[in-house]
Structure 1
Amino acid sequence: MTGATANPWAGEVALILDGERHTLKLTLGALVELEQALGADSLMALVERFEGGRFSARDVMAVLMAGLHGAGHPVSAAALVAAEIAGGPIEAARAAGQLLARAFALPEDQA
């Protein structure tokens, strides 16, 4: 959903790419994509890396790509790498961390 308001109760996170607001979401299919993209043994290991601040730029981009695809945005990796992210790398990392947290949190745990 471009231009839509993100619904944290549905696991959604908003991110502005090239001046356009996008809603991102980690669906089960998007999580499979994420595992494959990172060659991850487990997604919990990735969550722990984010929680401990030990994530890489590659991790951030892979999470954002999976979130975009999960929300129905057919963005290519090249387009995402070339995109201007409002708030820069800090906002990109924050959005990726929120996506992971919301994907694995129970509804009453989400704020």
Structure 2
Amino acid sequence: MTNPWTGEVGLRLDGKRHVAKLTLGALAELEAGLGTGTFIELVERFEAGRFSTRDVLMLIVAGLRGGGWEGTADDLLRVEIGGGPVEAARIAAELLARAFTVPEAG
């Protein structure tokens, strides 16, 4: 079970459940990995639907590492993400949204 109040998002890798979240350390690692451009530009790409598969991969790796996973981007290339590429993009966008918004009480 994930906790949206702490920014957690659930996903499955090769059928095994994992928790991802963009901690401050994960965000710093993500920003360093962007090379060029800024984190804000990454957010803007997602908001405009102009993100790349590399953006999705980097966000998921950062989120997984923020959730305690010790793998790398190369490791993620060799696993099946439950729901495929569309679910991976949804998870990446949800990680961004949960990192910078407070969930609504419901």
Tell me if TM exceeds 0.5: yes
Aligned residues: 106
Q: Which amino acid aligns with 2:90?
A: R
How far the C-alpha of 1:63 sits from its partner, in A, is 0.3
Name the TM-score, length of structure 1 as normaliser: 0.89
Q: Which amino acid aligns with 1:102?
A: R
Aligned to 1:31: 27
Aligned to 1:14: 10
- The answer to whether the 8 A contact 1:47-1:101 is kept is no
State the alpha-carbon separation in 1 of the partners of residues 41 and 104 from structure 2.
20
State the alpha-carbon separation in 1 of the partners of residues 61 and 96 from structure 2.
12
Unaligned runs of 5+ in 1: none
**Moved segments of 4+, more than 6 Å:** none
Classify the secondary structure of the residue corresponding to 1:26: coil
**What is the root-mean-square deviation of aligned Cα atoms in Å?**
1.6
Matched, 1:101 2:97: yes
Aligned to 2:56: 60
Q: Which amino acid aligns with 2:41?
A: A
How far the C-alpha of 1:41 sits from its partner, in A, is 3.4
State the alpha-carbon separation in 2 of the partners of residues 28 and 40 from structure 1.
19
Name the TM-score, length of structure 2 as normaliser: 0.93
- The answer to whether the 8 A contact 1:19-1:86 is kept is yes
Unaligned runs of 5+ in 2: none
